């Protein structure tokens, strides 16, 4: 990965582009993050850096955490996360990463903990339909229904939908676009929604998807099912 930063979700709003269209965006307080540890191939077998985000009182940390940060010579940080950056070998403990590591137009992946909805049934959790209200449905209209045969396989297969904990799990939204970056305010504005509640911790990194611009040639198609692909001469003559 080339770039990464830790941030906090502020909330959603909307902005207008140059043509006057409304763009729903999420505002993120990104950084500043401090390099609290550097891992090398010689000592750890791989290259990476550990970033710290959000100042906190030292009394709020455990003794191992406080000692780890004192050894690095940085202030107490509430959140620590490790990233295997491509330029990690060129970074040192104490370096500061700000929001301007990203720029408007960059495509990113955002990871966070989704909103928790508690213990929910199959209708709300999985979108299951309700049992008919007629013909003696009784008090089971919102139940999961039959779970499987009793003789063979005599068990419920993994992945069967059912009631249970909904939300409160790590979610990654890929291929989002950065609309605006303000390094002074430590602000990154992302097009669309990102996981988690307001104030939730998130991580931003460059997307893993390959966003190549396709070179679309007009005129002759390479698809043999199309007329221009079967007879290119006629297609070029029409053009």
pTM above 0.85, yes or no: no
Supply the mean pLDDT for the chain: 84
For the chain, the domains span 4-116+169-206, 117-166, 213-239
212-237 pLDDT tens trace:
666 655 555 666 666 655 565 555 55
Partners of 187 in the β-ladder: 29, 182
- Residue percentage of the chain with pLDDT more than 90: 31
Provide the b/e sequence for 37-68 (b: ≥16 CB within 10 Å): bbbeeeeeeebbbbbbbbeeeeeebeeebeeb
pLDDT value, residue 85:
86
pLDDT value, residue 214:
62
In the sheet with 77-83, reading across from the earlier edge strand, the strands are: 77-83, 48-55, 33-39, 96-97
Architecture of domain 4-116+169-206: Beta Barrel (2.40)
Residue with tokens 């070179």: 215
Residues of the chain with pLDDT under 50: none
pLDDT value, residue 124:
93
pLDDT value, residue 190:
92
């Amino acid at each position: 990965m080339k770039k990464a930063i830790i941030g906090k979700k502020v909330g959603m709003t909307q902005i207008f582009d140059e043509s006057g269209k409304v763009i729903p965006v999420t505002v993120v307080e990104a950084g500043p993050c401090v390099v609290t540890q550097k891992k090398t191939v010689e000592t750890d077998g791989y290259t990476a850096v550990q970033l710290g985000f959000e100042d906190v009182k030292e009394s709020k940390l455990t003794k191992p955490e406080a000692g780890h940060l004192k050894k690095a010579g940085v202030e107490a940080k509430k959140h620590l996360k490790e990233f295997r950056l491509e330029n990690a070998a060129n970074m040192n403990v104490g370096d500061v990463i700000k929001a301007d590591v990203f720029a408007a137009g960059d495509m990113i992946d955002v990871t966070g903990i989704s909103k928790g909805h508690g213990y929910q049934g199959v209708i709300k959790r999985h979108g299951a339909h309700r049992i008919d209200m007629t013909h003696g449905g009784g008090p089971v209209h919102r139940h999961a229904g039959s779970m499987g045969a009793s003789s063979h396989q005599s068990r419920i297969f993994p992945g069967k939908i059912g009631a249970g904990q909904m939300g409160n799990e790590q979610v990654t939204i890929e291929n989002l676009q950065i609309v605006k970056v303000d390094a002074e305010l430590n602000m990154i504005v992302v097009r669309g929604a990102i996981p988690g509640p307001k104030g939730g911790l998130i991580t931003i990194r460059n997307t893993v998807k390959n966003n190549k611009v396709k070179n679309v040639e007009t005129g002759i198609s390479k698809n043999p099912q199309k007329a221009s692909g079967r007879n290119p001469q006629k297609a070029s003559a029409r053009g």
